[in-house]
Each structure stands twice: as C-alpha cells, then as structure tokens.
Structure 1
C-alpha cells in the first residue's frame, strides 16, 4: 500500500502542475484583459502564500531549533554511554 502511494503521489503532483500551468493558456479573452487578470490573481495569491510561509517559519524556527538540538544531544549522549558501557 505504501509503495503504491509513493508511485501515485508524483503522478498526481505532475498532473496538478500541468493543469495549473495550462490555466493561462485557456483563459484567453477577446479584449485581452482576461489573461492579465488571471496572471495578477495568481501572482497576488502566490505572493501572499509565500509571505505567510516565511512568517510562519520565522515564528517556528526559534522554538524548533533548541528542541531539535536537545534531541540530537540526547541521541549522541545515549550512543556515547552505550559505547562506554560496552567496553566496561
């Protein structure tokens, strides 16, 4: 089941990307304003998503880094203890 998900996920993402990039090609208007409005809407939405993600990472990073550091330190401590305990 997991192997099937690994094969299907790239195909679905590729299909979604193909559909998303084809939207401006099919969104033509007789006056030519339809394409620019779609482009403006997409640019605005992607810029908004990008700034939101950047803001979220900026808020999470100061909390996540010390936690990950502590987990790494504990992991290295356990390995070192096992190494010393086996030699004793």
Structure 2
C-alpha cells in the first residue's frame, strides 16, 4: 500500500495477500481492492477534528491534520488490529 504524503490518502495497493484480512465492507474483485472504499475506511480511522484537545495535540506534534496524525501513528486503533507497517522498517506486530 502506498500513501500520498500530501493528502494522506491511499494512492496505490499493489497486491492483496489475503482477501479475508481486508477490512469488512471493502470490496476486492479479482485480487484488486476498491481503492475508493479503502480510502473512505482509512479516512474514517482518523480522530475527529472536533475531539476535545486534538488541536493542541496536533500543534504539539507539529502536524496539520488528524489524517497526518493517523499516518504518523501507522493507523493504529485500540478498537481493532489494523495498522500499517512501512516497508523496510523492521516493525513487527507483537
């Protein structure tokens, strides 16, 4: 998966390794993921801009948007097990 740094949107998905691990509701047809649906899902993972204290947190972290924060924290959410692992980072889920 590639993220566009300017928009924090998913710009490409090169390969779906396991359709059963794609987030619920994101269509995959013939091994190709629906990128528009994936972007809607990804966008929805960001902390709402209306959340109390988020502006202060963004300023402290020198980030302009909650989407940038989502990218910085690798999409991690405490409510599920999805996250992104940058290629070559050596980061592992454990």
> TM-score scaled by structure 1?
0.29
More helix, by proportion: 1
The structure having more radius of gyration, on CA atoms, is: 1
> TM-score scaled by structure 2?
0.28
Q: Which has the higher contact order (CA 8 A, sep 6+)?
A: 2
